[in-house]
């Protein structure tokens, strides 16, 4: 599923669009008529090929083409303003909280799917300062464990922090996982944390990639040290801010009847995303990328 469009005289559609040119002109915000004219067909092409729901993709393409024919984009020369307008028009059809447009004049981003060990190591200092997004871990009155988690770092980075957190609550009688401010993160981090909540190897969920009809499965794994186990009660707190991987985590545990969800309807971004280049990045033309991602077999968009 596509999820976010990034524009960077370099235009990218995210399901995310992240890209950029190195020229001085690419760092300016103004877009000319030629650039705007090339952008819409490029986005439509990738939507039709990559978006997880072909019928929704077709409706978005029709809507963008209609807006373009009516001249709705013709007067928008500022990249950020155009990104905002495209986001509004795409979400009006898709109702997809991951799908949108961003303008990044500073240059290219690296698709998480293509992160190398060196890329991950480059994030380590920030991850450590963030405490790998574990804001609070404690044993509350009544021997209830509590974990407040703001995001899911890749398991390569966060495994030690997650293990330490779960070690502290392993012997509590019940566990509360607070995802009310969790904006998401990486599926590997989701699977690793969930692994502490089961007694046997368990299939968590599937991600279906439209191109090639490829299925990616996520399972729990053996964890270091004591685990909380699969029998004691688990409660997950959600809010309208709970998003993306946090929704995937909540959905998987609810679907497996391993946790009770308590809170508000979540943000509606449970589907993972990828980035796709949609226009020439070499500098002669505006560069655009479209982020299209797979989809979980389930959706916690209406969790309660």
CA-nearest of 204, 189, 5 to 104 is 5
Question: What torsion do the CA atoms of 182, 184, 189, 192 make, to the nearest 10 degrees?
Answer: 60
Q: Residue 276's pLDDT is what?
A: 65
Using DSSP's 3-state secondary structure scheme, residue 177 falls into strand
User: Which tokens in the block code for residue 133?
Assistant: 């997004």
Residues 6+ apart with CB under 8 A from 249: 152, 179, 190, 193, 194, 236
Q: What is the pLDDT of residues 176-200, one digit of tens each?
A: 999 999 999 888 999 999 999 999 9
Q: What is the pTM of this model?
A: 0.75
User: Which tokens in the block code for residue 207?
Assistant: 């991600």
C-alpha angle with apex 18: 7 to 292, nearest 5 degrees? 100
Superfamily name and number for 118-263: 2-enoyl-CoA Hydratase; Chain A, domain 1 (3.90.226.10)
CA-nearest of 168, 263, 169, 252 to 203 is 252
CA–CA separation, 169 and 182 (whole Å): 20
Q: What is the pLDDT of residues 115-129, one digit of tens each?
A: 678 878 888 899 899
Q: Residue 2's pLDDT is what?
A: 39
Q: What is the pLDDT of residues 222-266, one digit of tens each?
A: 998 899 999 999 999 999 999 989 999 999 999 999 999 999 999
CA-nearest of 122, 100, 52 to 299 is 52
Using DSSP's 3-state secondary structure scheme, residue 282 falls into coil
Instruction: Identify whether the C-beta of residue 15 lies closer than 8 Å to the C-beta of residue 99.
Output: yes
Domain ranges (residues) in the chain: 2-111+274-293, 118-263
Give me the residues paired with residue 261 across strands: 236
- pLDDT at residue 16 greater than cutoff 50: no
């Amino acid at each position: 599923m596509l999820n976010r469009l990034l524009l960077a005289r370099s235009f990218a559609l995210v399901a995310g669009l992240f890209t950029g040119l190195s020229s001085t002109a690419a760092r300016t915000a103004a877009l000319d008529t030629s650039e705007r004219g090339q952008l819409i067909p490029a986005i439509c092409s990738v939507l039709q090929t990559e978006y997880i729901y072909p019928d929704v993709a077709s409706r978005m393409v029709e809507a963008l083409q209609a807006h373009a024919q009516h001249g709705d984009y013709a007067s928008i020369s500022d990249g950020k303003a155009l990104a905002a307008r495209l986001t509004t028009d795409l979400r009006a059809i898709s109702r997809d909280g991951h799908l949108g447009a961003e303008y990044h004049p500073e240059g290219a981003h690296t698709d998480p799917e293509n992160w190398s060990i060196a890329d991950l190591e480059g994030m380590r200092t920030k991850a450590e300062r963030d405490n790998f997004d574990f804001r609070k871990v404690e044993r509350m009155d009544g021997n209830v464990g509590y974990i407040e988690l703001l995001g899911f770092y890749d398991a390569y980075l966060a495994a030690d922090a997650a293990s330490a957190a779960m070690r502290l609550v392993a012997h509590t009688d019940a566990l509360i996982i607070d995802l009310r401010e969790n904006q998401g993160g990486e599926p590997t981090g989701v699977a690793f944390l969930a692994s502490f909540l089961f007694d046997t190897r368990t299939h968590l969920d599937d991600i279906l990639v439209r191109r090639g009809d490829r299925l990616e499965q996520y399972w729990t794994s053996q964890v270091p040290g004591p685990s909380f186990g699969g029998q004691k009660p688990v409660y997950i707190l959600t809010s309208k801010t709970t998003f993306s991987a946090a929704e995937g985590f909540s959905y998987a545990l609810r679907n497996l009847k391993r946790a009770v969800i308590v809170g508000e309807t979540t943000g509606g971004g449970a589907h993972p995303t990828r980035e796709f280049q949609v226009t020439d990045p070499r500098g002669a033309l505006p560069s655009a990328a479209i982020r299209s991602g797979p989809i979980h077999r389930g959706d916690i968009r209406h969790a309660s």
